[in-house]
């Protein structure tokens, strides 16, 4: 099958023919229908997350089940599914405590010594990103990375729910349980930020302030629920937020993953407010913030991983939200492209020229 392979960091992905194994116990083979491109794919390619090459990237997929392995009872061929990186085991401390997205074994892969799921010609192992690797015509996943969805949900929109939408909406609904009326700032209006923004709108937030350094995103942000927009490339965005909110917002969602925007997000947070870090700052970087500012104003900072999801519960709900008009996905898609154009799409993402781009397979 054809796949887009990261051969080395900071180089274009290579389109290669690679082999995919048959499903083993508890595994499901999918035909990939569509895959969104998330900034975390780019962060991996730039060496900002500990994922070594060679590896097939892509982790925001929707697909159709082709075959199932021994013991799989939740899926049958023909089922439409979404894949998610937070596979869960069901028995570890975090799973049993109701936080399966923190499962200790989510990236465990096949048992030690087993044949790899993906291989290159000659049989050498090919890395699989987060049990998924959706920049490929087929995917071989643990069943606990997948959720079955309604057949009337278009798969080129369903895929967005696999990462960006679940991450953004979940940050608002699950991680901080956003209260109605709260003032909210969304820092970064990519796929993740626009989804957090929609979570705020769905919860009935008060002011919803969108911040980005590409002003073309503001029409889109307003359509999706922003009440105010701040161009970070034109003046000080922190001062602008303080002016709009009378001293800082109740909740600030950082959805970019840069050191200065994390610092700005904390500074935009008002007394007693909460900064929610959703963007992934490259692992090599450290952010300096004032501890006194946190203490004297009793500010909270929390990370938010994959929207604190229980995806088999959350994702079908988000699909209902889309199909009944409460969640807007069509507007978030800047372009649909074939796998061959993945490197151009990554370039557009680097330059801030796209909201979400979706690879659609034949
Ligand atoms: N926490 C999680 O579980 C999780 C899951 C998925 C993605 N992420 C992370 O979320 C972040 C956003 O992902 P995405 O796919 O939406 O990215 P994206 O590239 O689509 O969006 C980033 C947005 O930030 C804007 N931007 C960039 N620099 C800016 C600046 N200095 N000031 C203001 N705006 C700026 C860009 O114009 C763009 O609109 C990434 O760091 C990604 O790795 C985290
Ligand atoms: Zn992602
Ligand atoms: Zn677990």
Q: Is 268 in the pocket of ligand 1 (CB under 6 A)?
A: no
- Going by DSSP bridges, is the β-strand pair 2-6/14-17 parallel, antiparallel, or unpaired? antiparallel
Question: Model confidence over 281-303: pLDDT tens digits?
Answer: 999 999 999 999 999 999 999 99
Q: What percent of the chain has pLDDT over 70?
A: 100
CA of 247 to the centre of ligand 2 (A): 32
Question: Model confidence over 245-263: pLDDT tens digits?
Answer: 999 999 999 999 999 999 9
| Strand-by-strand arrangement of the 14-17 sheet | 14-17, 2-6, 55-56, 127-128
- Going by DSSP bridges, is the β-strand pair 19-20/2-6 parallel, antiparallel, or unpaired? unpaired
Q: Residue 183: which pLDDT band, with cuts at 50, 70 and 90? A: very high
**217 DSSP assignment:** H
Would you state the pLDDT for residue 362? 85
User: What pTM does this model have?
Assistant: 0.97
Q: Is 168 in the pocket of ligand 1 (CB under 6 A)?
A: no
C-alpha distances in Å from residue 134, one per residue of 27, 55, 222? 15, 11, 31
Query: Which ligand has the nearest atom to the CA of 44?
Result: 1
Would you state the pLDDT for residue 107? 86
CA-CA distance, 62 to 5, in Å (whole number)? Answer: 19
Asked whether the beta carbons of 229 and 162 are under 8 A apart, the reply is no
Cα–Cα nearest to 201, from 162, 163, 173: 173
CA of 192 to the centre of ligand 2 (A): 8
Question: Model confidence over 48-96: pLDDT tens digits?
Answer: 999 999 999 999 999 999 999 999 999 999 999 999 999 999 999 999 9
Q: What percent of the chain has pLDDT over 90?
A: 97
Q: Using the predicted structure, report yes or no on whether residue 129 has a pLDDT greater than 90.
A: yes
Q: What does the mean pLDDT of the chain come to? A: 97
DSSP element (H, E) containing 197: helix 191-202
């Amino acid at each position: 099958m054809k796949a887009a392979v990261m051969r080395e960091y900071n180089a274009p992905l290579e389109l290669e023919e690679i082999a995919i194994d048959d499903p083993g116990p508890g595994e499901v083979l999918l035909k990939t229908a569509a895959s969104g491109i998330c900034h975390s794919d780019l962060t991996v390619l730039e060496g900002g997350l500990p994922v070594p090459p060679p590896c097939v990237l892509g982790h925001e997929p929707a697909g159709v089940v082709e075959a199932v392995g021994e013991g799989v009872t939740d899926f049958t061929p023909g089922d439409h599914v979404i894949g998610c990186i937070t596979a869960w085991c069901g028995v570890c401390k975090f799973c049993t405590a109701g936080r399966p997205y923190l499962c200790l074994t989510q990236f465990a892969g096949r048992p030690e010594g087993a044949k790899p799921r993906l291989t290159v010609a000659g049989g050498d192992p090919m890395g699989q990103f987060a049990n998924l690797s959706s920049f490929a015509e087929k995917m071989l996943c643990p069943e606990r990375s997948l959720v079955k969805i309604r057949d009337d949900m278009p798969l080129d929109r369903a895929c967005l729910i696999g990462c960006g939408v679940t991450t953004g909406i979940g940050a608002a609904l699950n991680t901080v349980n956003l209260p109605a009326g709260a003032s909210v700032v969304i820092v970064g209006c990519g796929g993740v930020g626009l989804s957090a923004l929609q979570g705020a709108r769905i919860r009935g937030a008060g002011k919803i302030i969108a911040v980005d350094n590409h002003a073309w995103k503001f029409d889109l942000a307003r359509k999706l629920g922003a009440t105010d927009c701040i161009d970070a490339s034109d003046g000080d965005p922190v001062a602008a937020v303080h002016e709009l909110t009378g001293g800082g917002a109740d909740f600030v969602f950082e959805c970019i993953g840069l050191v200065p925007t994390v610092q700005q997000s904390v500074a935009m947070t008002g007394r007693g407010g909460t900064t929610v870090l959703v963007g992934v700052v490259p692992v090599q970087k450290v952010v300096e913030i004032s501890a006194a500012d946190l203490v004297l104003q009793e500010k909270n900072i929390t990370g938010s991983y994959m929207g604190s999801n229980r995806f088999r519960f959350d994702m079908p709900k988000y699909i209902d939200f889309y199909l009944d008009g409460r969640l807007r996905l069509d507007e978030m898609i800047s372009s649909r492209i074939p796998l061959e154009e993945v490197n151009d799409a990554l370039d557009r993402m680097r330059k801030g020229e796209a909201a979400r781009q979706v690879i659609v397979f034949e």
